[in-house]
Chain A
Amino acid sequence: MWDYTDKVKEHFLNPRNVGEISNADAVGEVGSLACGDALKLFLKLDENKERIAEAKFQTFGCGSAIASSSALTELIKGKTLDEALEITNQEIADFLGGLPEEKMHCSVMGQEALEAAITQYRGGTIATHEETGQEGNILCKCFGLTDSFLKKIIVTNKLRTAEQVTHFTKAGGACGGCIDKIKVAIAEVLEEQVMEKQKSPEKLTNLRKMQLIQSVLENEVRPQLWSDGGDLDLIDIDGSRVQIAFRKACAGCGSSGSTARFVEQKLRGLVSDDISVEEVEG
């Protein structure tokens, strides 16, 4: 049984603001029957069209989906549209005293519906779930999720593993065919973050660099590989060239290429951006 907080249970058993608003200013719809959850959000603005006077929802989904929808409507009432857009899925989860990580996608659905509603209000077109978040290319076919949507969720929730991305967005949770692509997306997000952050001018000594590489591999990289039943060994460090050998499930795994890339992005992000990682036999 899921370990739901009392607040989740309370909002599931007594959801606030259920229903429709017939003359709503904005309607946002995300999810579908096939996905297993869907949320339709109705917003009514005040006379000055500034603040959200009323918010109602209809949700098809599990306990945490209903509780997240209820929490969302409570959070946005009285806010301006810009203030409402600032709300992150984490705030929805926090409002409920937290959600099991496997259920975080319910909070993401709430935030998506809100964005869809406000986009529709400002752009004047009704956004349906097929149209929201469709910038970029479809990465997860089963749930129709794009790379740009996933990257946004990866950044805002500081996600580091494909499993986390599945828990937050469902991507990769059905056929599993896109999990390698999700790993690449995580690596690319890390890369972009490194690019943005100006590298500190401090010059690493060779000794310090080697220590840092070892510590990142031990503390950041290997625990994540273990969770997939894999592992790696550090074979050698020659300047900025890091040689690793994959072990256990990683050895001979078809996606070891993307795993090597993930290791490289980690080291570039946390040690130095001139590092290159190569996979060797060893």
Chain B
Amino acid sequence: MKEIYLDNNATTKVDEAVFEEMRPYFCELYGNPSSMHFFGGQVQKKVDEARRRVADLLNAAPEEIIFTACGTESDNTAIRSALELFPHKRHIITTRIEHPAVLTLCRNLSRRGYRVTELNVDGEGRLNLDELEAAVDDDTAIVSIMYANNETGVLFPVEEAGAIAKAKGAIFHTDAVQAVGKVPLDVTSSTIDMLSLSGHKLHAPKGIGALYLRKGVPFRPFLAGGHQERGRRAGTEATANIIALGKACELAANLMDDTNRRVKAMRDRLERELLTLIPNSRINGGEAERLPNTLSIAFEHVEGEAILLLLSEKGICASSGSACTSGSLEPSHVLRAMGVPFTCAHGTIRFSFSRFNTEQDVETVIRELPPIINRLREISPFGRELLAHP
């Protein structure tokens, strides 16, 4: 069965051009970039090129890019660095809707005596900057706020948040894993001190991430060891992955405008038609500014895992905000923080597009999903009055 892949916020296909770019660096050009011989040196040049390409996507300088193993490592590195630099500061500010890469770390730290403020969001998933203004104080070591939410696609006012953080002398970090390659970023005129990104969300392979570190912002490395990455991230460079990330960033920069136009049109069409065809459905974060590729849509009185399994029978890959898919028993912390009622939170499905999706994918979902919701509502003891017969 050919897959219709609409789960690009989970991970993306490695672009064929990216794969071709990295392929020689396994069996042929396998040298260590730190070596003194020509064989390592040529790899070093390619790593430098990749660093420049990643930097260009953010409008940063190459030396501001530190390669890591994943977005989670970048997030952990940023937060721990700030805490090590300011041992007298015991306060961290983040949000209730962060990715676990930030939230779990912060909650672990709160058990070790750190004061952690988790900012709330409104019903559309938006932050209230007044709450940040009130929370930040001289004790705040770091403020970490995601650029775009992975479940709803809602974008956050990171520039304004960064300004508030820095007015009180705190480091400002943003987890931009879902934003890089999807929205134009320019760190030159920005309040962002540190920014995390992840390769596999933008058509590079899994196992590569990067941390942008603004020149002049103090830093303490997470891994102790060799001199790699100017002593800021020890460990032999994952050369093929780094080169792949560089290529993926170059492609993202070149294709972004066109992709966004196309992807947004497909997302908007899917959203519009599903809302029309399926009664008692609603968009999570629909009133907020969102990523162009993400649709989080709730169907009342049905459960997300059951929807996903039936979609999967048709070859359609999406994800849910439901508890049952994750093994946890509470529905998504993001939807709960937004106050999405249980009836909707359990029945939320996320579709996330990439440049590889087509209008035909959208048409298939529009054809297959309404009968699936209807079928599950027929089985459900709730909301039987909602049954539609399109």
Residues of A within 8 A of B (CB): 9, 12-13, 15, 18, 29, 33-34, 36-40, 58-63, 65-66, 102-103, 143, 166, 170, 173-174
Contact = CB atoms under 8 A, between A and B. Distances in A.
Given A33-B342, A36-B324, A58 B380 contact: yes
A188 to B, nearest CB: 24
A29 B379 CA distance: 14
Contacts of A38: 381-382
Contacts of B327: 102
Contact of B306 (A29, A62, A170): A62
A15 B376 CA distance: 11
A66 B307 CA distance: 12
A274 to B, nearest CB: 37
Contact of A66 (B322, B379, B382): B379
Contacts of A33: 301, 342-343, 346, 382
Contacts of B313: 13
B329 interface: yes
B142 interface: no
B185 interface: no
A15 B343 CA distance: 23
Which 7 interchain pairs have the tightest Cβ spacing? A173-B329, A62-B324, A62-B305, A58-B381, A40-B381, A60-B380, A34-B342
Contacts of B209: none
Given A36-B331, A60-B303, A63-B305, 14 more contacts: A12-B309, A33-B382, A34-B342, A36-B342, A59-B380, A60-B302, A60-B382, A61-B324, A62-B305, A63-B309, A65-B303, A65-B324, A66-B379, A173-B330
Nearest to B377: A60
B328 interface: yes
- Looking at chain B, what size class is its interface with the partner chain? 20 to 34
Nearest to B320: A62
Contacts of B381: 29, 38-40, 58-60
B379 A15 contact: yes
A40 B384 CA distance: 13
A61 to B, nearest CB: 5
Nearest to B328: A173
A40 to B, nearest CB: 4
B378 interface: yes
Given A33-B382, A36-B346, A38-B381, A62 B330 contact: no
B387 interface: no
Contacts of A9: 309
Contact of B323 (A13, A36, A63, A166): A36
Given A18-B378, A102-B327, A12 B343 contact: no
A170 to B, nearest CB: 5
Interface string B311-340: 001000000001111011111000000000
B306 A12 contact: yes
A57 B33 CA distance: 64
A63 B306 contact: yes
A60 B328 contact: no
Interface string B338-375: 00001100100000000000000000000000000000
A29 B382 CA distance: 12
Interface in B274-327: 301-306, 309-310, 313, 322-325, 327
B113 to A, nearest CB: 13
Most-contacted residue by chain B among A29, A58, A143 (CB, 10 A): A58
A170 B327 CA distance: 10
A38 B328 CA distance: 17
Most-contacted residue by chain B among A29, A38, A63 (CB, 10 A): A63
A61 B329 contact: no
Contacts of A61: 303, 306, 324
Nearest to B312: A1
Interface string B179-221: 0000000000000000000000000000000000000000000
A181 to B, nearest CB: 17
Nearest to B300: A33
Nearest to B323: A36
Nearest to A171: B329
24 contacts: A12-B306, A29-B381, A33-B301, A33-B342, A33-B346, A36-B303, A36-B322, A36-B329, A38-B381, A58-B379, A59-B381, A60-B301, A60-B379, A60-B380, A60-B382, A61-B324, A62-B325, A63-B306, A65-B303, A66-B379, A102-B327, A166-B329, A173-B330, A174-B330
A60 to B, nearest CB: 4
A62 B380 contact: no
Contacts of B309: 9, 12, 63
Given A12-B306, A63-B306, A65-B303, A174 B378 contact: no
Contacts of A173: 328-330
Contacts of A103: 324
B384 to A, nearest CB: 8
Contacts of A170: 329
Contacts of B306: 12, 61-63, 65-66
A204 B82 CA distance: 59
A225 to B, nearest CB: 19
Contacts of B310: 13
A66 B323 CA distance: 16
Contacts of A174: 329-330
A35 to B, nearest CB: 8
Contacts of B305: 62-63
Most-contacted residue by chain A among B309, B323, B325, B379 (CB, 10 A): B379
A61 B310 CA distance: 13
Contacts of B328: 173
B299 to A, nearest CB: 12
A223 to B, nearest CB: 21
A170 B323 CA distance: 11
Nearest to A100: B327
Most-contacted residue by chain B among A36, A38, A61 (CB, 10 A): A36
Nearest to A41: B381
A9 B379 CA distance: 16
A62 B322 contact: yes
Contacts of A34: 342
